């Protein structure tokens, strides 16, 4: 079975209640839609207080490249265009909508039948994906249409589909692969057409045998699509590690996967692409896992973007008494939330509620130079060295030891027997070094 | 006997060769340096804090001798005059400044909604979240400024969770102000006799939100600006700011502030007035 | 919402990752202690109560020394419970003759913890293996006592013997009770003009006796089998990797084989080299000490190679019959350089 070779860790996968069917979350309160829900240049709202909006109506516009837009998840009135807290509790522009009636944009098709025929041209597909606000649903939220526009110095050969879901606890991609395999495959074919590649590989980790079997069976009659079972190892879902695992190629330092001929999309994105291209539906809904050791019934929900996170937790049996930490995303790379008054965004793949006893870090001890962080680093860096360099403010040393290659997967900190905050310092150092490099590259006068 | 002779000759010979080599190298790589550099460097504080913009005190001395127009903000006026005299320059005396911490949130005046765990660094915590009390402008209390200070004059007060400046040892090098990821620390005129008056808050949030985070937040009501007899106070982005070059220390604003957000320090009572 | 919020505990905010693996320093350290148990049992079986005494004195002295220094000199939180001082104590005891006077053991422990470990800043900062520094300190300070080894006598009452040994230390009258190590005997034989074959014949040890340690030697180094058992446990628990032991033993074997092939009567045969002396203990327990060994696989291999070659060099050409301690200490000094030179292979290069 294939996998990437360098580093990686094996956390317990904790896929709680993975076979529970997904549930559609009904919520009628006010929706809060963050204006910028993607990685890139911020968007600008184009609706005003008091406006009537239909479901699927765009609410924002791009200001610069790379940009993406958001759409109204429901029909209703714009209550306010103001600010709302993001995952870090920083106030960001947001649009509040009070749902009313059920009007939708005319172009949207709610017909659930599978539509296999792809009628659009590659250029039209990319344009449609852009207009429907599709972003990478794996968590990074990079605008999908940008990824599909291959730069001049690259050539796409492979489309790699990320169904790895290597983060513990997460089950949303798994559920999607079981529930919507045909749609995902059509989505893959649409992306293949847009990129004009003839080979697509779906990578799924071996702990999801049902998804592997189902997609293999369905993909048998799709030309060029293969399904690859991958040996379980974190961080297999990271772009560079997935490229290595599926194609054996390595993305050179400072380059993008496209420079090795690979474009990577998440299975969730494939489904969103299907909906956007075949049904003309904007991305206003996604599958979110709500899970945790103390959650009453961990499961997946189809949630409209803009629903408050607290409504999701309520639907899952409420917030357990002893919750000490709420994480947006998986336990290895997710963000700890300050409170639950936050809206669901496109990038929210899971809500993980950790009980108090698992919410805290252990006190850091001395580095015993065991080298386990070096062993675990999938990028071949030396976290112990970078950690010391950052603490001693030696940014030159950090740069020389390639801190900018760090993918922030957290393997080093996960494995450190002394509980040292390795990734904390590496992240800090990385941002400082990036700043230094930017300053150096911009002429001073 | 011959053994003895050999040993002596061998050692003497080795020594002679080494001496020649050393001499040759010393003459070849000799660096001519202005002797004044060492003299000036001796006069400078020697803390290598970098406040002047140079890498260290010797670097500044070199720049000064070469005719650079630089000032050591750490030197006292007398010391600086001595340096200037040595170089035949006229020393401009300047008003001494001191850092003030424009946040009174801390543990006493604001409610912690979350607990931060991890690397003790304000810069990192700032990249993660708005702060334990939810205020995105306030002090994070992790002490980046105290670690940046080379004179040990800033320390975290465990009771309030805020940094405190020890006036006696502060040299106003400004390293703390640069280290703060939120720009909370500002250098203001020291006014050793009259004390300093400043807005002890840095939030640009609207009044209602600011009040939610902190008991002593500036809500931008503008009362202070109205009563200021010299017009030194401006309210911008929901935040009042006292221009320290124009403030006359009348302390009218201190009493009208409904949130007690204006801090007045007097030499007699070094603690913040409220 | 705020009323509801107060009903719950405060949420914790921290950077990812939010979970941690099963490893911890104390788990690693106590794992090493467990791995030392087979050799410990064997040494008690062979050397009886003096062995128990030396082990207890050494371990207790190391722990106490660390505690005292942390508590009263550094005034820092005490971390003896992490088990690293226990390991140093056990390893130091393993490197001493069972009948060493107790005060010498205490001195060795003080050198190991005070000089080699705490002086550098405690666990994780010491460049040299503390137990080996302690042993070498004793070897140089008390050469006679440190080379007066009791003969192993299974389950015999060695108490009386110990008294006699210490009474007669230095004289040759103790030969019945004490004996040189195999390596020491051969070195002596070579100096007296005997060939290697004659010396080995004179030694009269079968390979099985060599494996189980039925010959004189330091407390914990005699039984190769027990050490191998502990080494396998370390490998299984992933406390050590295979690189250092393999490179150490492999290079020692190859280098010894080359020398032996060049002159069979002047140099030890390779198999004998691996079974005698402290090379097994060194390869599995001393050289693999995390703090004082390199980080990367290739660095570890180079480190092991250096240890192996130096050991054979010292054994065959040096003044001492045994060279494992010196070899490892010398290579310890090269670790920072090795860490600089042998970087992990980066992704995408």
Q: Output the pLDDT for position C4.
A: 43
Of A441, A360, A353, which is closest to residue A404 (Cα–Cα)?
A441
Per-residue tens of pLDDT for chain C, all 349 residues: 343 444 567 899 999 899 999 999 989 999 999 999 999 999 888 888 888 999 999 999 999 999 999 999 988 888 888 889 999 999 999 999 988 999 999 999 999 999 999 999 888 899 999 999 999 999 999 998 888 888 887 655 555 555 555 555 544 444 446 777 888 888 888 888 888 888 888 877 888 888 888 888 888 888 899 999 999 999 999 999 999 999 999 999 999 999 999 988 888 889 888 888 889 999 999 999 999 999 999 999 999 999 999 999 999 898 888 889 999 999 999 999 999 999 999 998 7
Note the maximum CA span of chain B: 103
Q: How far is C21 from chain B (nearest CA, A)?
A: 17
Cβ distance of C18 and A367 shorter than 8 Å: no
Alpha carbon distance, N-terminus to C-terminus of chain A: 55
DSSP secondary structure code for residue C172 in this structure: G
pLDDT the model gives residue C157: 52
Q: Which helix (H) or strand (E) holds A327?
A: strand A323-328
With a CB cutoff of 8 Å and minimum separation 6, the contacts of A392 are none
Distances in Å between the Cα of B240 and the Cα atoms of B89, B206, B209, B266, C1 are 40, 12, 16, 21, 30
Please judge whether C15 and B132 are an interchain contact, meaning their C-beta atoms are less than 8 angstroms apart.
Answer: no
Is the Cβ–Cβ distance between B239 and B218 less than 8 Å? yes
Please, what is the Cα angle at A31 between A30 and A32, to 5 degrees?
A: 120
Contact B113 A339 (CB under 8 A): yes
Return the closest-CA partner of residue C124 out of C237, C293, C240.
C293
User: Chain A: nearest CA to B236, how far in angstroms?
Assistant: 18
Low-confidence ranges of chain B (pLDDT < 50): 270-271, 273-274
Chain A residues with CB under 8 Å of C349 CB are: 250, 252-253, 380
Beta strands of B97-219 (E only): which ranges?
97-101, 114-116, 154-157, 162-165, 185-189, 196-199
* Integer angstrom CA distances of residue A434 from A384, A405, A425: 20, 11, 14
Q: Note which residues in 218-247 of chain A have CB less than 8 A from chain C.
A: 240, 244
Residue C65 near residue C27 (C-beta atoms within 8 A): no
For chain A, list the contacting chains (3+ Cβ pairs, <8 Å): B, C
Q: Where in chain A is the domain with CATH 3.40.50.11540?
A: 122-278
B-contacting residues in C 13-72 (Cβ below 8 Å): 13-15
Two structure tokens written together for C221: 């180094």
The topology (CATH level 3) of A122-278 is Rossmann fold (3.40.50)
B114 to C12: CB separation less than 8 angstroms, yes or no: yes
Handedness of CA C100, C103, C108, C109 (dihedral sign): positive
Q: Looking at chain B, which residue has its C-alpha nearest residue C6?
A: B113
Q: Which residues of B touch C11 (CB under 8 A)?
A: 113-115
Helix C84-94 vs helix C25-68: crossing angle, to nearest 10? 80
Asked whether the beta carbons of residue B209 and residue A338 sit closer than 8 angstroms, the reply is no
Q: Token pair 């105290």 is at which residue? A: B146
For residue C50, the number of C-alpha atoms closer than 13 Å in the C-beta half-sphere is 29
DSSP A256-270: -GGGGTEEEEEHHHH
Q: Taking CB atoms and an 8 Å limit, are A418 and C25 in contact across chains?
A: yes
Q: Which fold has domain A27-99?
A: OB fold (Dihydrolipoamide Acetyltransferase, E2P) (2.40.50)
Chain C contact set for A326 (CB, 8 A): 11
* Amino acid C47: pLDDT: 85
Q: Which residues of B touch C5 (CB under 8 A)?
A: 113
Which chain C residues are Cβ-neighbours of B118 within 8 angstroms? 14-15
* The predicted structure's pLDDT at residue B267: 56
Residue A322's alpha-carbon distances to A14, A314, A355, C283, in angstroms, are 19, 15, 5, 49
Q: Count CB neighbours of B250 within 10 A.
A: 13
Tokens standing for residue A195: 């990129």
Task: Render the burial of A301-315: b for 16+ CB within 10 Å, e for the rest.
Answer: bebbbbbbbbbbbeb
Domain A287-358 = CATH 3.10.20.600 = yes
Q: List the 108-127 stretch of B: residues with Cβ below 8 A of C.
A: 112-119, 124
Instruction: Out of B119, B129, B209, name the one closest to residue A338 (CB).
Output: B129
Q: Is A49 in a helix, a strand, or coil?
A: coil
Judge whether C319 is closer than 8 Å to chain B, CB to CB.
Answer: no
Q: Which of residues 323-342 of A touch C (CB under 8 A)?
A: 323-327, 331-339, 341
CB-based contacts of A375, cutoff 8 Å, min separation 6: A7, A415
Tokens of C95: 């490197």
pLDDT for residue C163: 57
Tokens coding A304:
């409209």
* Cα A301 from chain centre: 16
d(CA C154, CA C223): 13
Are the Cβ atoms of C14 and B128 closer than 8 angstroms? Answer: yes
Closest Cβ opposite residue B115 in set C5, C13, C15: C13
Beta carbons of C17 and A168 less than 8 Å apart: no
Q: Nearest Cβ partner of B114 from A338, A427, A428?
A: A338
Break chain C into its structural domains and give their ranges: 27-146, 182-215+240-341
> Rounded CA gap, A32 and A19, in Å?
31
Would you give the distance in Å from CA B46 to the centre of its chain?
16
Mutation target to probe the A interface, by most A beta carbons within 10 A, among B111, B113, B115, B119 is B119
With CB atoms and an 8 Å threshold, state whether B130 touches A428.
no
Residues in chain A: 445
Contact state of C15 with B124 under an 8 Å Cβ cutoff: yes
Alpha-carbon distances of A117 from A156, A270, C112, C134, rounded to whole Å: 23, 16, 77, 79
Cα–chain-centroid distance for residue A233? 18
Cβ-nearest to C15 among B112, B113, B128: B128
**Contact check, Cβ <8 Å, C14/B118:** yes
**What residues contact residue A324 under an 8 Å CB cut-off, 6+ apart?**
A354, A355, A356, A357, A358, A359, A360, C9, C11, C12
pLDDT, tens only, A155-209: 899 999 999 999 999 999 999 999 999 999 999 999 999 999 999 999 999 999 9
CA-nearest residue to C13 within chain B is B116
Look-up of token digits 């937040």 = B217
- B contacts of A424 (beta carbons < 8 Å): 118-119, 121, 124
Closest-CA residue of C relative to A322 is C9
* The pairing of beta strand A60-62 with beta strand B162-165: unpaired
In this prediction, residue A154 carries a pLDDT of: 81
Residues 75-114 of B with CB under 8 A from C: 112-114
* Joined tokens for residue C176: 């019945």
Of B152, B253, B158, B271, the closest CA to residue B197 belongs to B253
**Domains detected in chain B:** 36-86 (1.10.15.40), 97-265 (3.30.70.20)
Classify residue C284 by its DSSP letter: I
C17 → closest Cβ in A368, A378, A414? A414
Closest C-alpha to C186, from C209, C215, C162: C215
Instruction: Answer whether B211's CB lies under 8 Å from B217's CB.
Output: yes
* Burial class (CB within 10 angstroms; exposed 0-12, middle 13-18, buried 19+) of C32: buried
pTM of the predicted structure, to 2 decimals: 0.87
Smallest CA–CA distance from A90 into chain B, residue? B130
For residue C314, give the 3-state DSSP assignment.
helix
CA torsion sign for A414, A415, A419, A420 is: negative
A37 touches A68 (CB < 8 A): yes
Q: A16, A300 in Cβ contact below 8 A?
A: no
Residues of chain A with CATH 2.40.50.100: 27-99
Structure tokens at B205: 């949030």
- Weakly modelled stretches of chain A, pLDDT under 50: none
Q: Do A381 and C25 touch (CB under 8 A)?
A: no
Give the nearest partner residue to C21 out of A9, A354, A359, using CB atoms: A9
Contact status of B48 with chain A (Cβ, < 8 Å): no
Check: CB of residue C13 under 8 Å from CB of residue B116: yes
CB contact under 8 A, C11 and A325: yes
CATH 3.10.20.600 domain position(s) in chain A = 287-358
B contact residues 100-119, partner A, Cβ 8 Å cutoff: 113-114, 117-119
The alpha carbon of residue B130 is apart from the nearest alpha carbon of chain A, in Å, by 5
| Bridge partners (DSSP) listed for residue B98 | B188
A366 and C295 within 8 Å at the Cβ level: the answer is no
How far, in Å, CA of B39 to CA of B46, rounded?
A: 12
Nearest in space to C58 (alpha carbons), one of C4, C1, C138, C122: C138
Chain B residues with beta carbon closer than 8 angstroms to that of C18: none
User: Which among A367, A370, A406, A404 has a CA at the least distance from the CA of A388?
Assistant: A367
- What pLDDT is recorded for position C188? 83
Cis link prior to C17 (omega < 30° from 0)?
Answer: yes
């Amino acid at each position: 079975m294939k996998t990437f070779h360098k580093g990686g860790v094996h956390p317990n996968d904790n896929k709680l209640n993975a076979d529970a069917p997904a549930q559609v979350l009904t919520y009628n309160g006010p929706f809060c839609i963050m204006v910028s829900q993607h990685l890139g240049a911020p968007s600008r709202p184009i609706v005003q207080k008091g406006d009537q909006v239909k479901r699927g109506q765009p609410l924002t516009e791009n200001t610069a490249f790379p940009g993406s837009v958001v759409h109204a998840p429901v029909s209703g009135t714009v209550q306010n265009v103001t600010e709302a807290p993001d995952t870090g509790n920083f106030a960001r522009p947001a649009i509040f909508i009070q749902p009313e009636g059920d009007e939708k944009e005319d172009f949207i098709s709610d017909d659930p039948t599978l539509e296999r025929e792809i009628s659009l041209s590659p250029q039209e597909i990319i344009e449609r994906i852009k207009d429907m606000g599709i972003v990478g649903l794996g968590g990074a939220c990079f605008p999908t249409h940008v990824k599909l526009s291959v730069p001049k110095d690259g050539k796409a050969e492979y489309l790699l589909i990320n169904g790895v879901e290597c983060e513990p606890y997460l089950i949303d991609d798994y559920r999607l692969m079981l529930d919507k395999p045909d749609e995902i495959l059509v989505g893959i074919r649409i992306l293949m057409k847009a990129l004009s590649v003839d080979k697509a590989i779906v990578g799924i980790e071996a702990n999801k045998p049902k998804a592997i079997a189902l997609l293999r069976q369905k993909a048998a009659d799709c030309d060029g699509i293969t399904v690859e079972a991958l040996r379980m190892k974190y961080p297999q879902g990271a772009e560079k590690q997935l490229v290595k695992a599926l194609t054996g190629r390595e993305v050179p330092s400072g380059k993008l996967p496209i420079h090795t001929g690979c474009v990577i999309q998440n299975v969730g994105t494939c489904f969103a692409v299907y909906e956007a291209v075949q049904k003309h539906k904007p991305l206003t809904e996604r599958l979110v896992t709500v899970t945790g050791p103390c959650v009453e019934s961990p499961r997946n929900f189809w949630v409209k973007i803009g629903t408050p996170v607290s409504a999701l937790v309520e639907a899952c049996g409420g917030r357990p008494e002893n919750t000490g930490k709420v994480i947006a995303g998986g336990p290895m790379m997710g963000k700890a939330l300050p409170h639950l008054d936050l809206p669901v965004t496109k990038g929210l793949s899971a809500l993980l509620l950790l009980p108090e006893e698992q919410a805290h870090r252990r006190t850091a001890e001395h580095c015993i130079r065991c080298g386990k962080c070096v062993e675990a680093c999938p990028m071949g860096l030396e976290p112990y060295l970078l950690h010391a360099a950052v603490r001693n403010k030696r940014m030159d040393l950090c740069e020389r030891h390639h801190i900018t290659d760090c993918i922030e997967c957290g393997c080093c900190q996960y494995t450190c027997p002394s509980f040292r905050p390795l990734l904390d310092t590496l992240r800090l150092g990385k941002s400082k070094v990036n700043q230094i490099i930017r300053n150096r590259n911009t002429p001073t006068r | 006997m011959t053994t003895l002779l050999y040993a002596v000759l061998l050692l003497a010979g080795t020594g002679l060769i080494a001496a020649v080599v050393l001499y040759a190298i010393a003459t070849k790589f000799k660096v001519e340096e202005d002797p004044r550099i060492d003299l000036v460097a001796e006069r400078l504080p020697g803390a290598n804090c970098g406040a002047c913009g140079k890498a260290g005190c010797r670097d500044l001395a070199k720049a000064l001798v070469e005719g650079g127009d630089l000032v050591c903000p750490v030197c006292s006026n007398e010391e600086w005059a001595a340096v200037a005299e040595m170089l035949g320059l006229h020393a401009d005396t300047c008003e001494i400044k001191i850092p003030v911490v424009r946040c009174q949130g801390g543990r006493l005046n604001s409610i912690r909604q979350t607990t931060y765990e991890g690397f003790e660094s304000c810069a990192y915590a700032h990249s993660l979240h708005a702060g334990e009390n939810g205020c995105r402008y306030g002090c994070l209390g992790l002490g980046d400024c105290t670690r940046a200070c080379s004179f040990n004059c800033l320390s975290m007060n465990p009771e309030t969770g805020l940094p405190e400046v020890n006036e006696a040892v502060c040299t106003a090098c400004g390293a703390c102000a640069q280290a703060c990821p939120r720009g909370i620390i500002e250098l203001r005129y020291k006014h050793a006799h009259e004390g300093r008056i400043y807005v002890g808050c840095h939030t640009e949030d609207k009044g209602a939100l600011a009040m939610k985070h902190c008991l002593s937040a500036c809500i931008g009501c503008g009362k202070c600006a109205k009563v200021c007899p010299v017009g030194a106070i401006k309210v911008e982005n929901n935040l009042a700011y006292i221009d320290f070059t124009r403030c006359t220390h009348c302390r009218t604003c201190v009493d009208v502030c409904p949130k007690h957000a204006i801090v007045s320090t007097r030499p007699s009572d070094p603690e913040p007035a409220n | 919402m705020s009323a509801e919020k107060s009903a719950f505990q405060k949420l914790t905010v921290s950077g990812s990752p939010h979970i941690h693996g099963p490893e911890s320093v104390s788990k690693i350290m106590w794992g090493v202690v467990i791995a030392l148990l087979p050799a410990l049992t064997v040494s008690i079986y062979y050397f009886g109560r003096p062995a128990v005494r030396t082990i207890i004195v050494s371990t207790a002295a190391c722990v106490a020394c660390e505690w005292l220094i942390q508590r009263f000199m550094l005034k820092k939180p005490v971390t003896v419970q992490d088990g690293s001082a226990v390991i140093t104590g056990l390893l130091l005891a393993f490197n001493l003759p069972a009948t060493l006077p107790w005060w010498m053991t205490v001195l060795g422990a003080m050198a190991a913890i005070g000089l080699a470990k705490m002086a550098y800043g405690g666990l994780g900062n010491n460049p040299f293996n503390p137990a080996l520094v302690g042993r070498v300190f004793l070897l140089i300070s008390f050469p006679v006592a440190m080379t007066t080894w009791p003969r192993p006598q299974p389950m015999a009452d060695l108490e009386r013997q110990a008294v006699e040994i210490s009474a007669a230390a230095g004289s040759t009258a103790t030969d019945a009770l004490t004996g040189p190590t195999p390596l020491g005997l051969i070195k002596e034989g070579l100096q007296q003009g005997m060939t290697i074959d004659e010396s080995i014949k004179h030694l009269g040890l079968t390979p099985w006796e060599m494996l189980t340690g039925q010959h004189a030697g330091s407390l914990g180094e005699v039984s190769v089998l027990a050490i191998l058992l502990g080494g396998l446990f370390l490998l299984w628990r992933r406390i050590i990797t295979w690189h250092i032991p393999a490179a150490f033993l492999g290079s020692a074997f190859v280098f010894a084989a080359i020398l032996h092939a060049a002159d069979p009567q002047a140099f030890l045969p390779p198999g004998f080299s691996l079974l005698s002396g402290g090379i097994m203990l060194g390869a599995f327990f001393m050289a693999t000490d995390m703090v004082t060994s390199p980080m990367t696989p290739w660095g570890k291999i180079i480190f092991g190679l250096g240890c192996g070659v130096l050991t054979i060099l010292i054994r065959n050409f040096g003044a001492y019959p045994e060279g494992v301690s010196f070899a490892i200490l010398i290579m310890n000094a090269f670790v920072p350089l090795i860490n600089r030179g042998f970087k992990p292979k980066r992704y995408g290069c």
